[in-house]
């Protein structure tokens, strides 16, 4: 139950998802937002890899819930910094879970579609995880620790994240837009990687609805539908009315080094497409079509492209 008296401690609240969660809940209850990157006036410092600080902060606030959003999400960085990835993503989750168990606090943990190996075309909530990169393995390690330690937990598996705006969006959408801002007239985008986007604003609403109506457990949390990276880039151009000005070419993953300067050396699942089976079964119908969400998101900001 969440009401005006409910206290929520949020870790990793300075990122693209954290901002959406903060904005959604700030007028509904009492929010204590933390991060190691203090990029907003409403944030306080908290490093989830420091168990004592997590425990001290939690005891001081005495929250009704802890939303654990803190994570390293850059796939290439995680691949090259394995111990740091597991320290933040797995041990950080374990620290929060241990504190939750000690103080009897329900925990919300944000996982990822990247826990699946991509050999299936579509993944359900009940499919067995088998990650293929360090990011996915470290996040799945966090999942396993949360499940091992706690009975009162909600785990959400989002897909390709959409949100954050020009300031905080570090994902695919803004990477495409930065190329457009630089004046590119031709995009090269892979068409052999499939997934389901997740709009941060909708995910915040899903979290609230599940807490209010559903039993503890793990839930896929993605927009309706899905497609390839090429499909997403094509819709971005259409929404920004650049589809007649910028060409887009399909390429395969092995061609990335030829056409794109950025590092994409970490292995990626061929499919991260998911269906929200458990949300549907529990009557949570918040997720919208990903194209509608992408259109809403892109029209919220001035991206400086024309």
Q: Would 179 be classed as within a structural domain?
A: no
Which pLDDT score is estimated for 257? 85
For the domain that residue 112 is a member of, what is the CATH number? 3.40.50.720
Instruction: Decide if 140 contacts 83 (C-beta within 8 A).
Output: no
- The pTM of the full predicted model, rounded to 2 decimals, is 0.96
Which pLDDT score is estimated for 163? 98
Q: Would 172 be classed as within a structural domain?
A: no
Both tokens assigned to 53? 């600080």
Range of the domain at 127: 7-163+198-226+272-290
Which pLDDT score is estimated for 155? 99
Beta strands in the chain (DSSP E): 7-11, 30-35, 43-45, 65-68, 107-110, 153-157, 160-162, 186-190, 194-195, 197-199, 217-220, 227-228, 247-251, 271-272
Which pLDDT score is estimated for 126? 97
Q: Would 242 be classed as within a structural domain?
A: no
Q: Would 193 be classed as within a structural domain?
A: no
Which pLDDT score is estimated for 228? 98
Which pLDDT score is estimated for 256? 87
d(CA 127, CA 13): 29
* CA-only gyration radius of the chain, Å: 19
d(CA 54, CA 99): 7
Both tokens assigned to 20? 């959406």
Beta strands in 127-245 (DSSP E): 153-157, 160-162, 186-190, 194-195, 197-199, 217-220, 227-228
Q: Would 76 be classed as within a structural domain?
A: yes
Which residues of the chain are modeled with pLDDT < 70? none
Number of domains in the chain: 1
Q: Would 237 be classed as within a structural domain?
A: no
Non-local (6+) Cβ contacts of 53 within 8 A are 46, 47
Non-local (6+) Cβ contacts of 145 within 8 A are 90, 93, 94, 97
Q: Would 263 be classed as within a structural domain?
A: no
d(CA 261, CA 229): 17
Which pLDDT score is estimated for 288? 98
Q: Would 135 be classed as within a structural domain?
A: yes
d(CA 118, CA 273): 8
């Amino acid at each position: 139950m969440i009401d005006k008296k409910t206290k929520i401690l949020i870790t990793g609240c300075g990122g693209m998802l954290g901002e959406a969660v903060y904005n959604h809940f700030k007028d509904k209850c009492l929010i204590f937002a933390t991060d190691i990157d203090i990029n907003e006036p409403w944030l306080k410092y908290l490093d989830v890899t420091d168990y004592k600080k997590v425990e001290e902060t939690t005891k001081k606030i005495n929250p009704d819930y802890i939303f654990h959003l803190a994570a390293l999400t850059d796939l290439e960085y995680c691949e090259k910094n394995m111990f740091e990835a597991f320290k933040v993503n797995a041990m950080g989750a374990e620290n929060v879970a241990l504190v939750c168990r000690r103080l009897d606090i329900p925990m919300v943990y944000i996982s990822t579609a990247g826990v699946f190996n991509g050999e299936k075309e579509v993944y359900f909530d009940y499919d067995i995880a088998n990650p293929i990169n360090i990011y996915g393995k470290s996040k799945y390690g966090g999942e396993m620790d949360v499940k091992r330690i706690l009975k009162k937990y909600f785990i959400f598996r989002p897909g390709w994240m959409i949100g954050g705006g020009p300031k905080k969006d570090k994902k695919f959408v803004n990477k495409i837009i930065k190329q457009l801002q630089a004046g590119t007239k031709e995009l090269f985008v892979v068409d052999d990687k499939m997934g389901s986007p997740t709009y941060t604003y909708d995910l915040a609403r899903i979290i609230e609805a599940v807490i209010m109506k559903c039993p503890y457990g793990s839930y896929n949390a993605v927009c309706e539908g899905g497609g390839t990276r090429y499909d997403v880039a094509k819709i971005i151009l259409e929404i920004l009315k650049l589809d007649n000005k910028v060409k887009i070419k399909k390429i395969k993953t092995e061609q990335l080094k030829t056409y794109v300067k950025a590092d994409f050396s970490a292995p990626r699942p061929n499919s991260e497409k998911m269906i929200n089976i458990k949300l549907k079964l529990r009557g949570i119908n918040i997720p919208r079509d990903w194209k509608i969400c992408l259109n809403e998101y892109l029209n919220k900001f001035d991206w400086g492209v024309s």
